[in-house]
């Protein structure tokens, strides 16, 4: 685990809770050091404070997302919806606002790790058919939960962890209409810090990557008053 928090007392508290749950922890106190520590240690999860010296947590998240899909949990004292959506737009997987309960923070860490380690979009446990095609297909779109890859028209598409979870859920049942609440559960689980509007942010980002014309989506379709569905007959190539 990598903890980037400029408040020394808060950083030490998070470190002690993580170590109590059996994790090895590296602690740094600015965003640039967080990026360097990620290069060096390749952690499974990064706890990233937003307001830090040298490089902000938002800039650090942007730098991490340019090279990795590591799970990122952001901490912030700025609790407006726009602040939260900015972090998610940059690729953060979850957001916790200060002040927070350390026990709830650990619950969010466990949820992110659990979702990072299990195949997205597939069935859990012995009920899954072992001989089934592991690649989820919808028209020109191919989502591979085992390899965590996305291709459109044969071209690779880079997705954040949350975008991948959302796309895998939709691709597992092309044509099915999902409500925002259902998609939110696939990505974040239940959290009082995350609202259904975050799904709109992830959909907007996916459309930039998947739709030839994001303003007139043909693949990731809005069902007004309900939510979203994946059009299994849509064809095309990834947008630049």
The DSSP line for 178-230 is: EEHHHHHHHHT-S-TT--THHHHHHHHHHHHHH-SSTTS-SSEEEETTTEEEE
The answer to whether residue 126 scores a pLDDT higher than 50 is no
The pLDDT of residue 99: 86
Higher pLDDT, 114 or 132: 114
The C-alpha angle 175, 177, 183, rounded to 5 degrees, equals 120
Higher pLDDT, 56 or 185: 56
List CB contacts of 121: < 8 A, sequence separation 6 or more. Answer: 136, 143, 145, 165, 168, 169, 171, 172
The answer to whether residue 133 scores a pLDDT higher than 80 is no
The C-alpha angle 153, 156, 158, rounded to 5 degrees, equals 130
The pLDDT of residue 140: 87
Cβ–Cβ under 8 Å, residues 15 and 37? no
The answer to whether residue 44 scores a pLDDT higher than 70 is yes
The pLDDT of residue 125: 41
Average pLDDT of the residues in 135-156: 89
Average pLDDT of the residues in 211-236: 86
The answer to whether residue 146 scores a pLDDT higher than 70 is yes
Average pLDDT of the residues in 175-192: 76
Q: How confident is the model at residue 23 (pLDDT cuts 50, 70, 90)?
A: very high
The answer to whether residue 199 scores a pLDDT higher than 90 is no
The token pair that represents 182 in the structure block: 């259902």
- 153-184 b/e (C-beta count within 10 Å ≥ 16 → b): eeeebebbbbbbbbbbbbbbebeeebebeebb
Residue that the structure tokens 């800039």 belong to: 59
18: Cα within 13 Å, side-chain hemisphere: 22
Higher pLDDT, 165 or 126: 165
Q: What percent of the chain has pLDDT over 90?
A: 46
The pLDDT of residue 235: 57
What is the DSSP-derived secondary structure letter of residue 26?
E
- 57-67 pLDDT per residue, tens: 999 999 998 88
Least confident residue range of 75-84, 141-150, 155-164, 176-185:
75-84
**Phi, psi dihedral angles at 206 (to 5 degrees):** -65, -40
The pLDDT of residue 121: 44
The token pair that represents 213 in the structure block: 């014309």
The answer to whether residue 204 scores a pLDDT higher than 70 is yes
The answer to whether residue 120 scores a pLDDT higher than 60 is no
- For residue 15, give the 3-state DSSP assignment: helix
Give the chain's mean pLDDT.
Answer: 83
Strand order in the sheet with 141-144: 136-138, 141-144, 149-152, 155-156
The answer to whether residue 43 scores a pLDDT higher than 90 is yes
Whole-angstrom CA distances from 191 to 14, 17, 33, 108, 126 are: 19, 20, 29, 8, 28
Q: How confident is the model at residue 190 (pLDDT cuts 50, 70, 90)?
A: very low
The pLDDT of residue 129: 37
């Amino acid at each position: 685990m990598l903890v980037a928090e400029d408040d020394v007392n808060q950083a030490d508290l998070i470190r002690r809770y993580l170590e109590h749950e059996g994790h090895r922890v590296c602690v740094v106190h600015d965003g640039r050091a967080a990026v360097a520590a990620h290069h060096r240690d390749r952690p499974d999860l990064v706890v990233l404070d937003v307001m830090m010296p040298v490089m902000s947590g938002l800039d650090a998240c942007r730098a991490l997302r340019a090279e990795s899909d590591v799970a990122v949990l952001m901490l912030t004292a700025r609790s407006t919806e726009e602040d939260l959506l900015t972090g998610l737009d940059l690729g953060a997987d979850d957001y916790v606002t200060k002040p927070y309960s350390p026990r709830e923070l650990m619950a969010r860490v466990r949820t992110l790790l659990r979702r990072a380690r299990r195949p997205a979009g597939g069935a859990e446990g012995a009920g899954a058919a072992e001989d089934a095609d592991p690649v989820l297909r919808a028209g020109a779109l191919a989502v591979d939960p085992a390899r965590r890859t996305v291709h459109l028209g044969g071209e690779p598409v880079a997705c954040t962890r949350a975008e991948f979870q959302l796309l895998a859920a939709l691709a597992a049942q092309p044509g099915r209409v999902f409500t925002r609440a259902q998609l939110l559960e696939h990505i974040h689980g239940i959290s009082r810090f995350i609202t259904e509007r975050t799904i709109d942010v992830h959909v907007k980002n996916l459309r930039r990557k998947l739709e030839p014309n994001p303003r007139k989506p043909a693949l990731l379709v809005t069902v007004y008053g309900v939510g979203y569905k994946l059009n299994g007959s849509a064809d095309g190539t990834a947008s630049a």
